[in-house]
A and B are shown apart, each in its own frame.
Chain A
Amino acid sequence: MAKHHIEATVNGDPVEFLCETEDTLLDVLRDTLDLTGSKEGCSSGDCGACSVMLDGRLVCSCLVLGCEVSGRKIETIEGMAKGEALHPLQRRFLEAAALQCGICTPGFLVASKALLEQNPNPSEHEVRFWLAGNLCRCTGYDKIVTAVMDTAAAMRKG
């Protein structure tokens, strides 16, 4: 069967690609569009390393088919910094060493940004529940949660 020809928007730019039905959005991002910031951890929606925004909604890109995103807007970790200027979450994660091996980091950043956009003043409880679908196997959760709380506080001050 012929491949699907899909047009979508990724990080504000129009893109088009060909994909098989079984290709996930994560496969397309990494293997076709060379956006390898989104990571493949579990491929079953448990680890959150492949988190992206799809039409403004946080999703696991491993649980979305490439052919589903026709005409839709996707935001990935590659779109988080504006040029050389890192997003405040990225800066804080670096400063606070809120990462060890870094595989989970893009997913945590994308998910945390989504949280702060809808809740600029989350409690620690809210941060932990929001990020329950992002797994860090280096067990860096405390530093990550603290970094998100600190960034939120800094962003509220402006």
Chain B
Amino acid sequence: MRYEAPESLEGAVALLAEAKGEARVLAGGTDLLVQMRADVVDPELIVDIKKIPETRTVTEEQGGWRIGAAVTGAELKEHARLKRVWPGVVEAANLIGSTQVQGRATLGGNLCNGSPAADSVPALIAAGAVATLAGPKGRRDLPVEDVMLGPRKLALTKGEIVVSFLLPPRPARSSDAYLRFIPRTEMDIAVVGAGVSLTLDAGGTITAARVSLGAVAARVLLVSEAAQAIIGSRLDRAAQDRLEAAARAACRPIDDKRGTIEFRTDVAAVLARRTALIALDRARAN
């Protein structure tokens, strides 16, 4: 097993593109090392991307924020300005694992692990985040909801890596939130996750919204019907009911040890409503 830690994106892409056997990108390693230990993966090549500066920085760009794919959850939590503008994205990233895991786990890794239950992914999708990819044919941007195709299946081509995420500029009276359900208070995998981002006009009416649900289908869902259900409303009880119905209708979960289809569907509706209410309160305060 080879280990390489290139200092340039071009170097990382070339290594991955030329790999003969299975190659894996190493960011925080909190999934990869566990999978290697369990013999789920046995890569011939590991490419550590943490020495590539643009994977490790958080910068303001065109009024939005660009977050490197290998920035850790702990670093996001310490970024006061990012947390103020995108509290939902940061709180979602901070729900991944323990304090120790937070010291290593990254947004890029959480997405590329390809789990429908990844905590940060619904928050990124609700935020309208766009992933910047680099590959042998150059760079391209892909909305986060289009990166994951199914469990462990990504839209990345051979040699392509996720470099960073761009969060769009934030109008006044905007905010976001993320909630997940787990049967305990910490250290567990989402049974359902819900991310909501919204913008209000001066009168408190929702003018824009995005709703995303995790762990209720083979991939994390962007539920535009749920967003449409609340746009134009002040999230009164009727709008909450429409949101719940739309969330419920979007669910296509599996039965497994974490939850049944019925339970996940019910929880998705409740979480979508509660998350939207938190985002609403935050947006009013902005």
Contact = CB atoms under 8 A, between A and B. Distances in A.
Query: Do A and B come from the same complex?
Result: yes
Interface of A: 1, 4, 20-22, 24, 43-46, 48, 51, 54, 57-60, 62-65, 67-68, 111, 114-115, 129-134
Nearest to B75: A57
Interface stretch (B28-36, B110-118, B197-205): B28-36
B94 to A, nearest CB: 10
Contact of B2 (A21, A45, A58, A60): A21
Nearest to A132: B186
B101 interface: yes
Contact of B99 (A21, A62, A65, A133): A133
Interface of A is mostly: mixed
A62 B104 contact: no
For chain B, which range describes its interface: under 10, 10 to 19, 20 to 34, or 35 or more residues? 20 to 34
Contact of A43 (B28, B37, B185, B187): B37
B5 A68 contact: yes
Contact of A63 (B33, B38, B46, B48): B33
Given A130-B99, A132-B186, 5 more contacts: A63-B28, A63-B34, A63-B104, A67-B3, A132-B98
Nearest to A110: B100
B11 interface: no
Interface string B13-26: 00000000000001
B278 interface: no
B9 interface: no
B6 interface: no
A65 B29 CA distance: 8
B36 A133 contact: no
Contacts of A62: 33
Given A62-B33, A65-B33, A45 B3 contact: no
Contacts of B64: none
B3 A58 contact: no
A158 B205 CA distance: 53
Contact of A45 (B1, B34, B36, B46): B34
A63 B98 CA distance: 12
Contacts of B99: 58, 111, 114-115, 130-133
Interface string B237-256: 00000000000000000000
Contact of A21 (B28, B29, B46): B46
Contacts of A130: 99
Nearest to A135: B187
Interface-centre pick from A1, A48, A58, A63 (highest chain B CB count, 10 A): A63
A60 B28 CA distance: 11
A124 to B, nearest CB: 13
Contact of A1 (B1, B36, B37, B101): B1
